[in-house]
Amino acid sequence: MARRKKIYEGKAKILYEGPEPGTIVQYFKDDATAFNAEKKATIDGKGVLNNRLSEFFMTGLNGIGVPTHFLKRLNMREQLVRAVEIIPLEVVVRNVAAGSISKRLGIAEGTPLPRPIVEFYYKDDDLGDPIVSEEHIIAFQWATQQDLDDMVALALRVNDFMSGCMLSVGIKLVDFKIEVGRIFEGDYQRLIVADEISPDSCRLWDIETGQKLDKDVFRRDLGNLADAYTEVAQRLGVLPKNATPMTKPTLIN
């Protein structure tokens, strides 16, 4: 069988040409990186968990009318998604201070924020994804004012959905990052949620204990990352409760 054409390989995923025009196969790797790839490891089962968790969140979002690129899961590590033109910005929503905002503004980690705060970072590994203002984004034509308004609206709807999902299983959604892509329908363009939504791109804290259940476990050497992601998947009902962590997870179909 002919190999599929690889379009792009990133730190955690590989994109292949999809079976039909306008589709892409997104493959989730077990590789974990942090601090702009200064710290690297392979974590057995991470790709399988993120494939399944991203499917869970994106399906839920599609179901409430928040458009995403997700079409269907193909197998343990791959999902079929719509091809989009990625806007070169990371959109971060924060509910509680942690990570870079705590460092930058001297706000203690865990301080609730007065309202969800949306930030934009310019996607550029060489620059370490710097935070940028709307002024920069419009002046350098990374996106238009309309795109920005649409991105903020999308990000806040994702925040509402994800916060509710997590709250229902005893987890606080501290913050998360999404990426947004353009799709073209005739003369019109629409913005949709792209990339992935998984514990790699969120901060998730247990409401009772404060235990971290996200990529900070890897960033800060707090334990086994796959165990943390398995815990999230089990609470959400994506994995059966008795699934053993973790090299080969049992998935509920």
What's the CA gap between 138 and 118, in Å, rounded?
Answer: 16
Q: Which helix (H) or strand (E) holds 51?
A: helix 46-63
Count the residues of the shown chain that bind ligand 5GP, applying the rule CB under 6 A.
Answer: 13
Site string for ligand 5GP, 76-95 (x = CB under 6 A): --------------x-x---
Residue 129 engages ligand 5GP in binding (rule: CB under 6 A): yes
Of residues 100 and 224, the one with the C-beta less far from ligand 5GP = 100
Q: For residue 127, give every residue at least 6 positions away whose Cβ sits within 8 Å of its Cβ, in sequence order, or none.
A: none
Smallest distance from ligand 5GP to CB 30, Å: 14
The least distance separating ligand 5GP from the CB of residue 68, rounded to whole angstroms, comes to 16
Instruction: Mark 96-115 with x for binding to ligand 5GP (rule: CB under 6 A) and - for no binding.
Output: ---xx---------------
CA dist., res. 49 & res. 86, Å (int):
24
Dihedral sign of CA atoms 169, 173, 178, 183 in order: positive
Q: Is 179 one of the binding residues for ligand 5GP (CB under 6 A)?
A: no
Q: How far is the CB of 189 from ligand 5GP (least distance, A)?
A: 25
Q: Which of 175, 193, 194, 197 is close enough to bind ligand 5GP by CB under 6 A?
A: 175
Structure tokens at 248: 């080969």
Q: Which amino acid is at 104?
A: R
Rounded to a whole number of angstroms, the minimum distance from the CB of residue 160 to ligand 5GP is 17
Q: Which is nearer to ligand 5GP, 15 or 243 (CB)?
A: 15
Question: Among residues 74, 121, 125, 96, which one has the least CA distance to residue 214?
Answer: 96
Separation CA 148–CA 141 (nearest Å): 11
Of 126, 214, 219, 208, nearest to 169 by C-alpha is 208
Nearer to ligand 5GP, 147 or 196 (CB): 196
Calculate the alpha carbon distances from 35 to 3, 31, 85, 144, 241 in Å: 33, 14, 26, 29, 32
- Residue 71's H or E segment, with its range, is strand 70-73
Contact flags string 181-210 toward ligand 5GP, x per CB under 6 A:
-------------------xxxx-------
Segment near ligand 5GP (CB under 6 A); pick from 20-28, 47-55, 59-67, 174-182: 174-182
Choose between 54 and 201: whose C-beta lies nearer to ligand 5GP: 201
Residue whose Cβ sits closest to ligand 5GP? 99
Residue corresponding to tokens 């999404």 = 178
Shortest Å distance, C-beta 219 to ligand 5GP: 8
How far apart CA 222 and CA 234 sit, in angstroms, is 20
Interacting residues toward ligand 5GP by CB under 6 A: 90, 92, 99-100, 129, 175-177, 200-203, 215
